[in-house]
Amino acid sequence: MTKSVEYFFSIGSPWSYIGFDAFTELAAKNDVVVTPYLTTVVEENGGIFSRNRPEIRRAYWTRDLKRWARVRGKELRLEHRPELSDPAPASLFVIAAYLDGQDWIGVVRALQHAFWSEARDIGKSDIREAIVTSAGFDGAALLRRQADDDVQNKWSADRVHARDSGVFGFPSYVYDGELYWGQDNLPFLERHLRGDRP
């Protein structure tokens, strides 16, 4: 029986990047249909941008990211990053790919790898177009689609749905009404998918 998981994430979240492959593999293994919702930190639910955290928490956050990146086999460039623009507009490429029935997972993978492993400025439309084109997608078509009403409407609606679903940080997964926050909660999500509801 096919199961459905709502996946809330942010292109600009290193935790979303670190846990992405583990989640998509889990979904494939458990016959899960994934519905993506892209947004940014939901501050009204208590989400906090890393730049607004005390330095001692930021230092721990950085160490923990590095530990998890090694566990997940991800290259994460946190130091000596150039000044990059807001990566959130790259979400529109992913939304366009999803709405058009394309491989949105591949688009996410290309954009997040470029941003987190290579420190490329995916907030700039020409750069993200080149990145997805190099990954085998029609970057020019995705660039054209990002301004379309259905793409913009989903971007706006995704934030509302995240807020109303109790999401505050990324990645978050909702299955059968149960919210799981953080890629470190994937084992609990998998147990639930296999019948062990908390």
pLDDT digits (tens, 9 = 90+) for 107-121: 999 999 999 999 999
Q: What does the block give as tokens for 151?
A: 């793409």
Contact at 8 Å (CB) between 40 and 11?
Answer: no
Q: Could you report the per-residue pLDDT of 84-106, keeping only the tens digit for each?
A: 888 999 999 999 999 999 999 99
pTM for the whole thing?
A: 0.93
Write down the domain spans for the chain.
Answer: 3-194
For this structure, is 10 an active site residue?
A: no
Task: Report the topology of domain 3-194.
Answer: Glutaredoxin (3.40.30)
C-beta separation of 92 from 104 below 8 A:
no
Which of the residues 10, 13, 16, 172 is marked catalytic?
13
Q: 32-38 and 178-181: which strand pairing?
A: unpaired
